Amino acid sequence: MDGFRIIIAEHNTDNLHLLTDLLMQEGHSVVAKVSDSASLLHNINTVQPDAIILNSTLPGENFLELLYKLQHLRIAPVIIVSEELDLNLLEDSIKSRCFGYLVYPIYSENLIPVLEYAVNYFKIISQLEEENKELKEREAQRKTIERAKNLLIEKKEISEREAYNLLRKLSMDKCVSMHKIASTVIKTLENKL
């Protein structure tokens, strides 16, 4: 196992040392140690961690707002650590897509499996989100090409095959994607209305 790069956001010095020691003993790197939410947000883009370990009582802005900001950034999975189990916070954490919730005292036996799960599951989810985004883009491009083809059929009174072949020929002649050609055709033909 290669070590992960971790940001620890913990204001309690004893807990900070404990987490740092546990992680380093397991071969992980603590790339930043912060004690408030502003420092966390400042450091997260700079160090690009594999995971964030975040105390639920971290000083600074509202904790749930911080969780949603971190989730929106989609840089790394968040594992919450807390002095006590708070079921409301746990429920809110799940909604904000946190990847783990641990209650002190924390030991290597419970920290490391949660960390492994969080980092690997985050990678899977990130990959699926990227694939979903690409599929949506391809579908939008397909719809644009289809719209251009239908406008050509209607305005030029040609067959579907001829319209497609015309778009393809223009694309090859101009060395641009069919999507760009289709967008241009749509703008041109719609302006003639």
Residue range 117-169, pLDDT digits in tens: 999 999 999 999 999 999 999 999 999 999 999 999 988 889 999 999 999 99
| 83 secondary structure, DSSP code | S
**For the chain, what are the domain ranges?**
5-106, 132-191
Binning pLDDT at 50, 70 and 90, where does residue 89 land?
Answer: confident
* Tokens 């694939």 belong to residue: 131
pLDDT value for 136: 96
Strand 5-9 vs strand 100-103: parallel, antiparallel, or unpaired?
unpaired
Contact status, residue 71 vs residue 37, Cβ threshold 8 Å:
no
> Angle at the Cα of 130 (from 51 to 124), degrees rounded to 5?
45
Check pLDDT > 80 for residue 192: no
pLDDT value for 183: 93
Query: Percentage of the chain surpassing pLDDT 90?
Result: 81
Residue range 90-122, pLDDT digits in tens: 888 888 889 999 999 999 999 999 999 999 999
Fold of 5-106: Rossmann fold (3.40.50)
pLDDT value for 113: 96
- AA identity, residue 136: K
pLDDT value for 51: 97
Q: Which two tokens stand for residue 50?
A: 């594999």
Neighbours of 14 (CB within 10 A): 9
pLDDT value for 1: 52
- Alpha carbon 7 to chain centroid, angstroms: 17
pLDDT value for 92: 85
- H or E, element range at 170: helix 160-174
What average pLDDT score do residues 34-54 get? 94
Q: What is the four-CA torsion angle of 3, 7, 70, 115, rounded to 10 degrees? A: 40
CATH number of 132-191: 1.10.10.10
Q: What is the four-CA torsion angle of 170, 171, 172, 177, rounded to 10 degrees? A: 170
Binning pLDDT at 50, 70 and 90, where does residue 58 land?
Answer: very high
Give the relative orientation of helices 160-174 and 108-156 as an angle to the nearest 10 degrees: 110
Check pLDDT > 60 for residue 193: no
Binning pLDDT at 50, 70 and 90, where does residue 190 land?
Answer: confident
Is the model more confident about 9 or about 192?
Answer: 9
Check pLDDT > 60 for residue 27: yes
